Amino acid sequence: MEKGLRFSFDKEAGILDISIGSPKKAASRGIQGDFFIGVGPKTKGSGICGFTE
């Protein structure tokens, strides 16, 4: 498994995704305003919606 901090940005949706390691399936859960976290077994990730605004 690849480790390390990973960033990806969806310009159309304005979403910045931040994760540790390789992408995995997870459900997203909003935690405050435009911030969300990935929820699932062995999931370590978060993101920001509306990052370009």
Please give the average per-residue pLDDT across 8-32, as a whole number: 81
* 3-class DSSP assignment, residue 35: strand
pLDDT tens per residue, range 22-39: 777 777 788 887 887 777
Q: Which residue has the higher pLDDT, 5 or 45?
A: 5
Mean pLDDT, the chain, whole residue set: 77
CA distance 7 to 37: 14
CA distance 4 to 28: 21
